[in-house]
């Protein structure tokens, strides 16, 4: 189901990633219940660095107490290395879905 969800809503997620890329450098969260089909946590976390790299997190399952899973987009090579090596703090599983896109779980 997650793979289907990932592919069906890819264009919507890519639009959001493009908005983060074109916006100012900052970290934050876009809290909007309208994102519910795209991010099942109801919000989207992001970071845009001054060098233009971004990290955008779309929740799949946002278990508030002891677990969560999400789709991640990043073009930051340092983050990609961490994700591929499983070095992200508190992440128990990482899977590359396509270039710059990952699924993580905790």
**Per-residue pLDDT tens over the stretch 29-43:** 766 545 556 666 667
| pLDDT by position in tens, the chain (length 106) | 677 888 888 988 899 899 899 988 988 876 654 555 666 666 788 899 999 999 999 888 766 676 778 899 999 999 998 888 776 655 667 889 999 999 888 7
Show the domain range for 68. Answer: 2-105
Contact between residue 64 and residue 42 where contact means Cβ atoms under 8 Å apart: no
What is the token pair recorded at 78?
């340092």
Helix (H, G, I), strand (E, B) or coil at 30: strand
96 neighbors 72 (Cβ within 8 angstroms): no
Instruction: Say how many domains are in the chain.
Output: 1
pTM of the entire predicted model: 0.83
């Amino acid at each position: 189901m997650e793979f289907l969800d990932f592919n069906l809503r890819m264009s919507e997620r890519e639009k959001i990633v493009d908005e983060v890329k074109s916006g100012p450098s900052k970290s934050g969260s876009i809290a909007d219940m309208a994102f519910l089909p795209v991010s099942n946590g109801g919000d989207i976390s992001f970071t845009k660095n001054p060098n233009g790299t971004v990290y955008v997190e779309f929740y799949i399952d946002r278990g508030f107490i002891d677990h969560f899973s999400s789709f991640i987009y990043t073009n930051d090579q340092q983050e990609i290395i961490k994700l591929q090596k499983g070095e992200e703090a508190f992440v128990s599983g990482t899977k590359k879905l396509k270039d710059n896109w990952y699924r993580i779980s905790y």
